[in-house]
Chain A
Amino acid sequence: MKPFTYERAATPAEAAAAAARTKGARFIAGGTNLLDLMKLQIETPTHLIDINDLALDKIEPAMDGGLRIGALVRNTDLAADERVRRGYGVLSRALLAGASGQLRNQATTAGNLLQRTRCPYFYDTNQPCNKRKPGSGCGAIGGFSRHHAIVGTSDACIATHPSDMAVAMRLLDATVETVRADGARRIIPIADFHRLPGNTPHIENALEPGELITSVLLPPPLGGNHVYRKVRDRASYAFALVSVAAVIGRDGTGRVALGGVAHKPWRMDAADDEIPRGAKAVAATLLADARTTHDNAFKLALVERTLASVLN
């Protein structure tokens, strides 16, 4: 790791102000992704602001009948919460499909949204990567790309977003609540939170420098049948090749979102409209603009089959 200085912040506004004051500062909460990347010198913060003392570790009822999930709520606690298990089963299922018991005990709700890609070319500092080093090229395009994205890609980057939780959050139309360095708060719909790579794959989300996530808001429960189906290379503790999050009502309508196929959780209103017509129609809509490589073309069929296992 590169040297850094360390401080513990006492309030969200203080943390955001400290981050804006110090160039190269980063927040640290669970640390499960940031420390890993710091060891490899992919992340090189000069100052760490420990936000674990901020009182953001509660899950509280929201005024509209939904839930306000504190940014620091650990993945284990979110998945185990009675209200989440009963009203937002797809979120609980997605969390439990990710990582290991140890990591879920450390990883936080906000940190999970901010996970970096697990693309091996991003992780290997000897390889070109436009996300790690803008302008250096993309090793995955034309390289080993079995795990990579098939939709929403660009000529600069075909990385995927690795989170399971984020796919469920996108399905549930969660919103991200933040505080900025000047103390101002804002709400970002999850659909606008993660970005597609375009020509700037190093910019992954809508947060401004120093902006701190304080909570994630869930709308009131949708009812219906909640499913998170994750297909991976082994039965546990592996990232998704393809995942499907779905909430399906008794009348056969509902919503679906995909993980493992794009730079962000992949959901389209037009695909939700196709749900009564079955998996083939839904897959055709979601993957209409797919661009695959030799290695990851199998994901087209895998998406349709995984959707079929959930919908039919």
Chain B
Amino acid sequence: MTEFDPSRRKLLKATAAATGGAVIAGRLAPEAEAANPQPAQSTPPPTVSVFLRVNGTEHQLMIDPRTTLLDALRERLHLTGSKKGCDQGQCGACTVIVDGRRITSCLTLAVMQEGHDITTIEGLGTPMNLHPMQAAFIKHDGYQCGFCTPGQICSAVAMLDEVKAGVPSHATADLTRKPEMTAVEFRERMSGNICRCGAYSNIQEAIAEVAGVKA
């Protein structure tokens, strides 16, 4: 890992502001070229330092600010459980839990998640010590190819917490009352996780078992 160099970052930031970032190449002052001897075409964007707390462990990374949380998890921390499906927030395969809430890790930057508690599928359970939701997915065969499964499980775990906390949904009949633990609620609340194999009915059974209700 290279040492973070604030003077270089500051310089590049100032240059980016003056020239519009993308056209840095070829316009650098001589002293800037000395500080950055690489060929103009391959000038890397300025990297930034970020501390990420993932599954209880602190990591310091030097990253391109464009790095999404998903890419930082997969490519830098090698936590490849979270999957890149659409990379547009539409499929839910990249769902992780941040400060107890499920989010799509493809639609947030890693630099924006400094100071937050990030839990991935690797942090929920291990093969020898499964999370109850993982065990239920296995028992009810809640997957076929398995690509969407880590996102489904992270989403389902945080989703049940949302119901417990009283967060209403589109399926909640009476907004003035606490939402109920029902299959109708679970189906609506899991609509952000797509399964192209169509394992939905078994996913629903797994979630219902963990929630202690009828599917």
Is this pair of chains taken from one and the same complex? yes
Residues of chain A having any CB pair with chain B under 8 Å: 1-6, 22-24, 28, 30-32, 35-36, 39, 44, 46-48, 50, 52, 76, 79-80, 85-86, 89, 92-93, 96-97, 99-103, 105-106, 235-237
B169 within 8 A of A: yes
Which of A32, A97, A102 touches B102 (beta carbons < 8 Å)? A102
What separation, in Å, do the CA atoms of A236 and B192 have in the docked complex? 9
- Is there an interface contact between A101 and B162, defined as CB atoms closer than 8 Å? yes
Which of B66, B92, B107, B155 touches A3 (beta carbons < 8 Å)? B66
User: Given the complex, which residues of A lie within 8 Å of B211, measured CB to CB?
Assistant: none
- Is there an interface contact between B21 and A52, defined as CB atoms closer than 8 Å? no
Q: Given A5-B17, A24-B21, check contact A39 B88 (CB 8 Å).
A: yes
- Is there an interface contact between A80 and B167, defined as CB atoms closer than 8 Å? yes
What separation, in Å, do the CA atoms of A24 and B16 have in the docked complex? 10
Besides A5-B21, A50-B111, 8 more A-B contacts (Cβ < 8 Å) are A3-B22, A4-B65, A6-B65, A31-B109, A36-B88, A76-B167, A97-B170, A106-B108
What separation, in Å, do the CA atoms of A97 and B167 have in the docked complex? 14
Interface core residue of A6, A22, A47 (most chain B CB under 10 Å):
A6
What separation, in Å, do the CA atoms of A123 and B175 have in the docked complex? 36
- Is there an interface contact between B168 and A102, defined as CB atoms closer than 8 Å? no
Residues of chain B having any CB pair with chain A under 8 Å: 12-13, 16-17, 20-22, 45-46, 48, 64-66, 68, 87-89, 92, 95, 101-104, 107-109, 111-112, 155, 158-159, 162, 165-170, 172, 175-176, 187-193
User: Given the complex, which residues of A lie within 8 Å of B155, measured CB to CB?
Assistant: 101-102
The 6 closest A-B pairs by CB, nearest first: A100-B192, A236-B191, A3-B45, A46-B21, A237-B191, A6-B65
Residue of A nearest to B169 (CB): A96
User: Given the complex, which residues of B lie within 8 Å of A102, measured CB to CB?
Assistant: 89, 92, 95, 102-104, 155, 192
Q: Given A31-B107, A236-B170, check contact A2 B21 (CB 8 Å).
A: yes
User: Given the complex, which residues of A lie within 8 Å of B13, measured CB to CB?
Assistant: 5
What separation, in Å, do the CA atoms of A71 and B107 have in the docked complex? 19
User: Given the complex, which residues of A lie within 8 Å of B162, measured CB to CB?
Assistant: 76, 101
Q: Give 21 pairs: A residue, B residue, CB < 8 Å, sorted on A.
A: A1-B66, A3-B16, A3-B64, A3-B66, A5-B12, A5-B13, A5-B16, A6-B111, A24-B20, A30-B107, A46-B17, A48-B65, A48-B109, A76-B101, A76-B167, A100-B191, A101-B169, A101-B189, A102-B104, A103-B107, A105-B102
- Is there an interface contact between A36 and B21, defined as CB atoms closer than 8 Å? no
CB distance from A104 to the nearest CB of B (A): 9
What separation, in Å, do the CA atoms of A2 and B87 have in the docked complex? 16
What separation, in Å, do the CA atoms of A22 and B16 have in the docked complex? 10
Residue of B nearest to A97 (CB): B170
CB distance from A133 to the nearest CB of B (A): 17
What separation, in Å, do the CA atoms of A31 and B107 have in the docked complex? 6
Residue of B nearest to A36 (CB): B88
What separation, in Å, do the CA atoms of A5 and B12 have in the docked complex? 9
What separation, in Å, do the CA atoms of A96 and B188 have in the docked complex? 10
- Is there an interface contact between B168 and A96, defined as CB atoms closer than 8 Å? yes
- Is there an interface contact between A22 and B17, defined as CB atoms closer than 8 Å? yes
- Is there an interface contact between A93 and B175, defined as CB atoms closer than 8 Å? yes
- Is there an interface contact between B103 and A105, defined as CB atoms closer than 8 Å? yes
CB distance from A209 to the nearest CB of B (A): 15
- Is there an interface contact between B89 and A23, defined as CB atoms closer than 8 Å? no
CB distance from B14 to the nearest CB of A (A): 9
What separation, in Å, do the CA atoms of A2 and B13 have in the docked complex? 14
What separation, in Å, do the CA atoms of A58 and B16 have in the docked complex? 35
What separation, in Å, do the CA atoms of A46 and B46 have in the docked complex? 12
- Is there an interface contact between A105 and B101, defined as CB atoms closer than 8 Å? yes
What separation, in Å, do the CA atoms of A46 and B24 have in the docked complex? 11
